[in-house]
Amino acid sequence: MTIPKYNEIMLPLLKLHADKKSHSTQESYNYIYDYFKLSENEKKEMLLSGKQTLINNRVGWAKTYLTKASLLEKTDKAYSRITNKGLDVLEESPKEINRQYLLKKSPELKNFLKQVKKDKIKVKPDTKTTPIEDLENSYRVIRENLANDLLNIVKKSSPEFFENLVIDLLLKMGYGGSRKDAAEALGKIGDEGVDGIIKEDKLGLDTIYIQAKKWEGPVPRPEIQKFVGALEGQKAKKGIFITTSYFSKPALDYKTKINTKIVMIDGEALVDYMIDNDIGVSLETSYKIKKIDSDYFNI
């Protein structure tokens, strides 16, 4: 079973309220889970933001549309019940309730959509995704394009620039102590598969050995074996292998069979870390999505 679109949720959600009782938001979630026979993985699938599950977001928007169309009404904080207009709609036994259907029934919804448009939230006439999903999907496309462009630039950079990039990134992530310490450590060893060392924290309680490699094609298993051997030679317990390329399957399999703790960062992961930590990128614009603070209004 695929996760239902928010318009597919509207009719079942209205039917839940047909008993004229108040139902909580959590009851609505559980009812939709059971109605569509969702698996545990489907229930847990998150929005890109990681702050809410996809299905709960869609249930929330379905309830929003039903409420704005005056088919449901809030009775208490996180509780709602059906209205007379909602009961009339159920009497008609519609096969589906969607935005177009609601617009014909409710001038209140038209006013809500005008406000949505005023707030510059793009809602397509026949969309099956919520405004938040549309926003996150647009963000995903922009981020993927940025990541691709960023990786291409990193691949074309000089080895010295790449080493400095790695220093900047690790420092921004909280490693390395001072930049002076990190700069002195990285790129100075160059011995048996190790490029340098960096402090794990500002106090220098432990050190991490680093291999930073610009690479074409998959990084083979022997390169990882060489790195692990170098760590053992230094009696080191931790290592990071960073590449602009990707790791071969034998290399990834080898990592699972050793006791040495190493982190393998490929090109895609590298640029993701760069974007998340503002390395090589700058903020173009930002948007804040706000909602009613029900605690403030005690609703």
Domains observed in the chain: 6-129 (1.10.10), 157-276 (3.40.1350.10)
**β-strands 261-265, 23-24: how paired?**
unpaired
Q: What gap in Å lies between CA 178 and CA 201, rounded to an integer?
A: 10
Q: What is the DSSP letter of 4?
A: P
Phi, psi of 204 (to 5 degrees): 70, 30
For residue 238, the SS3 value is strand
DSSP letters for 89-137: HHHT--S---HHHHHHH-HHHHHHHHHHHHTT----TT--S-HHHHHHH
Burial of 91 (0-12, 13-18, 19+ CB in 10 A): exposed
Measure CA 295 to chain center. Answer: 27
Angle between helices 84-91 and 6-16 (to 10 degrees): 110
Residue 112 is predicted with a pLDDT of: 67
CA atoms within 13 A on the CB side of 159: 9
Residue 225 is predicted with a pLDDT of: 92
Residue 189 is predicted with a pLDDT of: 47
Closest CA to 95 of 177, 11, 28: 11
For residue 196, the SS3 value is strand
Residue 180 is predicted with a pLDDT of: 66
What's the average pLDDT block by block, 10 residues per block, for the chain (299 residues)? Answer: 90 96 95 95 88 91 91 88 95 91 82 58 56 82 88 90 87 76 55 69 76 90 91 84 94 90 94 95 82 70
Tokens of 235: 């009696």
Residue 99 is predicted with a pLDDT of: 84
Residue 269 is predicted with a pLDDT of: 96
Residue 183 is predicted with a pLDDT of: 56
Largest CA distance in the chain: 79
Residue 288 is predicted with a pLDDT of: 77
For residue 225, the SS3 value is helix
Q: How far apart are the first and last CA of the chain?
A: 35
Residue 195 is predicted with a pLDDT of: 73
Check: CB of residue 22 under 8 Å from CB of residue 75: yes
Residue with tokens 């990190």: 182
Q: What is the DSSP letter of 186?
A: T
Single pTM value for the model: 0.64
CA angle 108, 293, 105 (to 5 degrees): 15
Residue 266 is predicted with a pLDDT of: 96
